Amino acid sequence: MQIDARILENDIVRLEPLTEARREALRPLAAEAELWALTSIRGDGTHFDAWFDLMLAGQARGDQISHLVRRQSDGAVIGHSAYLGITPDHRRLEVGWTWYCAEARGGKVNPACKHLLLGNAFDAGAERVELKTHHRNLRSQNAMLKMGATKEGTLRHHLLCWTGEWRDSVYFSMLRDEWPAARAGLEARLSA
C-alpha cells in the first residue's frame, strides 16, 4: 500500500492536504465547542494551535494525512478529515478526525468525503479501512453503518478524554471486497 498526500475532489468537496498555510482558514470553524465534546483532545479556542500542530506532526511522521475540506460550490472551508494509523505493511489505515461546521452536516458532504477517502485508500492498495468513534456519538455511528461499514465491537475505557471522561471506542471497518457495494451506495446517495 502506497498512499500519498494529494488533493482529492469530486463535484461536492475538495480535500486539500493540511499545511501550515491552511491553519487560519480552519481556525474559525474549530471554534465551535460542540465539535470537541466527544473527542479525546480539544481543538477549539486556545487549544486549536496544539491540535493543528498534532495533525501536522502526524503527517511529518508519515502515519497520518490530514485534509482541509472545502465545498466546491462556493470554495468555503467546511471541515477536516484525515487518514490515521497508516500501516503499509499490513495494508490498513483509519479514516478519522472528521468534523464539519454546522451548516455542512447532514447533507452530501460526509458521503462525498467518505467516497473520496475510501476510494483513494482502496485504490492505493488498502485491504482494510478502520473507523472509530465515541460510544456516545450516535450520529457518527449511524453514518458509518449507513455508508456500509461493519461494526466490529467496543474497546472499553479506551481513551481518557480532555473532559476527564473515559471514552469507550466503537470500532467499524470496511474491507477491500466490501468497497464496491459501499461505493455504489454512496454514489446513489450522492446522485439522489
192 — pLDDT class (breaks 50, 70, 90): confident
Residue 26 has pLDDT above 90, yes or no: yes
Tell me the mean pLDDT in the region 3-12: 96
Q: Which position has the higher pLDDT, 2 or 106?
A: 2
Residue 3 lies in a domain: no
Report pLDDT for 106: 86
Residue 36 lies in a domain: yes
DSSP 121-146: HHHTT-SEEEEEEETT-HHHHHHHHH
Report the 10 Å Cβ neighbour count for 127.
14
Task: For residue 187, give the nearest of 130, 116, 120, 132 by alpha carbon.
Answer: 116
Report pLDDT for 137: 92
- Convert the pLDDT of each residue in 153-163 to its tens digit: 999 999 999 99
Residue 1 lies in a domain: no
Residue 40 lies in a domain: yes
Q: Report yes or no on whether pTM surpasses 0.85.
A: yes
Residue 137 lies in a domain: yes
pLDDT averaged over the chain? 95
Residue 70 lies in a domain: yes
Residue 2 lies in a domain: no
Nine-digit cell string for 24: 487560519
Give the 3-state secondary structure of residue 49: helix
CATH number, domain of 170, equals 3.40.630.30
Residue 26 lies in a domain: yes
Range of the domain at 16: 8-191
**Cα dist from 94 to 29, 31, 65, 118, 126, whole Å:** 23, 25, 10, 10, 10
Report pLDDT for 185: 94
Please, what is the end-to-end C-alpha distance for the chain in angstroms? 33
Cα–Cα distance for residue pair 70/132, rounded to 1 Å: 23
**Tally of domains within the chain:** 1
- Convert the pLDDT of each residue in 35-47 to its tens digit: 998 899 999 999 9
